[in-house]
Amino acid sequence: MSEQGDTTTDTTTVQWADPLEAVEVCYDLGWTDGLPVVPPTARRVGEFLECVGRSADEVVGEIPERRRVITVGKVAANAVMAGCLPQYLPVVLAATEAMLDPVFNLVGPSSSMGGSAILVVVNGPVVRELNINSRNNLFGPGNRANATIGRSIRLILMNACAAIPGLFDRSVIGHPGKYSYCIAEAETETHWEPFHVERGFGPDQSTATVFAAESPRQVRATGHPESILYAIADAASSLGTSMSTSGSVGDRSAGLRQGQIGVTIAGASSLWKDWTKAQVREYLYANISRSVGDLKEAGVLPGDPEPGDEAEFVPLLPEPEDILLLFAGGEESNMASVIPSWGPKVASTAVTKPVR
């Protein structure tokens, strides 16, 4: 039996005789991320569109620099190929709308040599409805919703936004998050204010936030909150990230205006009962810094190190609010992660959109 599939970049119909041939046709057409995809048959894409009640021709956003218009139909086709269920499509659409927001500046992180990926953070009731993982193995495999929602964003970037490795995607190294990079916050298991509420949404709303991010740096820490935060700040201050040694350095009197950073904190919520997110941010902001001497040695600041440079510290973040703080990860150990942002020569700012 022949099936037909629609491309995600043009109005093209392809015929195939059997499912295995369909997978190979998708490879031949360059629709994959290197892994097999689910053939986007017209019938299956139609089921996704019916689930959200939106037209295939409805415009989600544009990339004027590449003369690309991204429609609901293109998003749905890539969600099918990624292995999503139809009920995941509203989250994929929200994340796509967020990364196409001009504030996010998608052209920058999607084409840079820095090799960032689009991290999707999901909040609200949809996390429970779709069973999106916010706990053990947070960034790892094993959960269909996380894996396929994150993968759909990568396929949309490649097939609809032309961010193809070797073409517009000029990553020198890249990282595994460029296959799939999607998590949720464990907002119901902590007294901390949910991430999306901090960003202006109601607790009963569902949202998707996108962040142009390097790979997560795992931080092992023990003891009381101060010692855990000290370890997180030390990891976040390491040389070699976009915050410390990459990108342009602005007026030194204003610090290194290097964008944002993601931080996830796991373990038992009770450990943080005397701390608010604001207090955690203030502590981290005060300690995420590097000495003038180190920055000169790394070539970030001009000149040779001078006496006293090792005692003068420069903050690596513009403001405490630039720390995107999430309670997420397993509860068995006080683990954390630090996720530097994409290099800031042309800034990219995290964007949150409602799931509808």
Write the pLDDT tens digit of every residue in 265-323.
Answer: 999 999 999 999 999 999 999 999 999 999 999 988 999 999 999 999 999 988 999 99
Mean pLDDT for the stretch of residues 80-91: 98
Q: What pLDDT does 166 receive?
A: 86
Say which residue, 105 or 250, is predicted with more confidence.
105
Q: Is the pLDDT score of 243 beyond 90?
A: no
Q: Is the pLDDT score of 136 beyond 80?
A: yes
Q: What pLDDT does 344 receive?
A: 53
Distance CA 307, CA 311 (A): 9
pLDDT band, residue 228 (cuts 50/70/90): very high
pLDDT band, residue 252 (cuts 50/70/90): very low
Mean pLDDT for the stretch of residues 188-194: 97
Which of 242-251, 297-306, 341-350 is modeled with the greatest confidence? 297-306
Mean pLDDT for the stretch of residues 148-152: 98
Token pair of 89 as six digits: 């499509």
Q: What pLDDT does 350 receive?
A: 95
Q: What is the pLDDT of residues 57-74, one digit of tens each?
A: 999 999 999 999 999 999
Distance CA 89, CA 69 (A): 18
- At position 191, the amino acid (one-letter code) is H
- At position 136, the amino acid (one-letter code) is N
Q: Is the pLDDT score of 135 beyond 80?
A: yes
Q: What is the mean pLDDT of the chain?
A: 90
Mean pLDDT for the stretch of residues 237-259: 60
The pLDDT > 70 percentage for the chain reads 92
Q: What pLDDT does 241 receive?
A: 83
Residues 6+ positions from 139 with CB-CB distance below 8 Å: 177, 181, 183, 216, 337
Mean pLDDT for the stretch of residues 7-15: 59
Distance CA 269, CA 256 (A): 33
Token pair of 229 as six digits: 């935060």
Residue 94 host element (H or E) = helix 89-99
